[in-house]
């Protein structure tokens, strides 16, 4: 019995480590979005396309060489994978990418972490999970915190941005769907890498369609031009921030409960704030900091047993 408990503990520790690593990788994405847009005139729509493209390509090469059986498409799960790709990849990547350049990196990350609240509502409505006082209290903390982060107290000032608020909260809803679809895939018996590959691969198609409707059309895919630094950032966003991040997160979800994973992934807030301060000179005031603390407190309250 002791050995079994130790193996269970080790599995959970590994799960937490995986989610924390994913959070750190995702926390630096805002820096890449802003650097590519400001220094190399690469729009967000192009960056998010290459995020998914390089992630899918890298995983295709790896699985083709090492685990070819994981590339088998589970046809019965095709609707799930298509929904995951459309909402959790194509639209989520686009909305969150735009949020990071419309808001500050820290604000975009905090607003995205309203996702656990939406997951709770979804679980109550469709899975019959109870919605008690603790969960309602956590939801209240979340939205009060988001109001402070989005500077609703300064609605009359130029710094307030309704578009940024809408993008941030939308990214929270979509991130919730990202987690819900991922969990459905794992519960249906799919391997984590299979889920990640087909979500990214199908997502690439959707992102390519979005690029075709942008102002530059397909030509915008080559706006990075001869700047090798820009291509290196795009490759980094795909292989490390996206592929490695998704791989660590979904493998973490396979080892720990969803609520615990949400708590651990809130480490992205710390990373995003630190990276935004160090590399972009972005800062938050005391009320925004309080709002961030309330959001994190709501996540803790949601995930407590």
Q: What is the DSSP letter of 97?
A: H
Give which of 48, 32, 90, 22 is closest to 280, Cα–Cα. Answer: 32
pLDDT of res. 156: 56
pLDDT of res. 157: 53
Q: What is the DSSP letter of 69?
A: G
pLDDT tens column, 261-287? 776 777 777 777 777 777 777 777 788
pLDDT tens column, 181-200? 888 888 888 998 899 999 99
Q: Say how many residues make up the chain.
A: 305
Q: What is the DSSP letter of 255?
A: T
Q: Where are the beta strands (DSSP E) in 131-236?
A: none
pLDDT tens column, 39-55? 999 988 899 999 999 99
Residue carrying the six token digits 């220094």: 39
0.85 surpassed by pTM = no
What residue segments make up the domains of the chain, in order of their start? 11-303
**Poorest-pLDDT segment among 173-182, 254-263, 284-293:** 254-263
CA dist 61 and 71 (Å) reads 10
pLDDT of res. 272: 77
Q: Provide φ and ψ at 263, rounded to 5°.
A: -60, -50
CA dist 220 and 214 (Å) reads 8
Q: Which residue has the higher pLDDT, 71 or 122?
A: 71
């Amino acid at each position: 019995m002791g050995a079994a408990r130790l193996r269970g503990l080790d599995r959970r520790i590994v799960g937490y480590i995986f989610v924390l690593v994913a959070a750190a990788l995702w926390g630096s994405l805002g820096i890449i979005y802003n650097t590519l847009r400001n220094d190399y005139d690469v729009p967000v729509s192009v960056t998010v396309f290459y995020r998914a493209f390089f992630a899918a390509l890298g995983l295709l090469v790896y699985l083709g060489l090492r685990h070819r059986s994981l590339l088998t498409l589970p046809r019965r799960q095709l609707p799930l994978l298509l929904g995951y790709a459309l909402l959790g990849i194509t639209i989520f990547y686009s909305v969150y990418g735009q949020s990071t350049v419309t808001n500050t990196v820290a604000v975009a990350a905090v607003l995205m972490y309203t996702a656990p609240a939406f997951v709770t509502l979804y679980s109550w409505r469709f899975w019959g999970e109870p919605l008690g006082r603790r969960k309602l209290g956590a939801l209240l903390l979340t939205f009060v915190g988001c109001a402070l982060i989005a500077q609703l107290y300064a609605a009359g000032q130029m710094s307030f941005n309704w578009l940024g608020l809408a993008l941030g909260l939308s990214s929270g809803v979509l991130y919730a769907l990202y987690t819900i679809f991922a969990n459905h895939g794992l519960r249906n018996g799919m391997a984590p890498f299979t889920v990640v590959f087909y979500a990214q691969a199908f997502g690439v198609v959707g992102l390519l369609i979005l690029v075709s409707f942008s102002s530059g059309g397909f030509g915008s895919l080559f706006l990075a031009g001869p700047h090798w630094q820009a291509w290196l950032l795009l490759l980094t966003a795909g292989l490390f921030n996206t592929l490695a991040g998704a791989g660590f997160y979904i493998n973490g979800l396979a080892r720990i409960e969803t609520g615990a994973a949400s708590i651990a992934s809130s480490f992205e807030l710390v990373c995003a704030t630190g990276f935004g301060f160090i590399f972009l000179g972005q800062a938050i005031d005391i009320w925004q900091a309080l709002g961030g603390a309330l959001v994190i407190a709501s996540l803790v309250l949601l995930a407590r047993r």
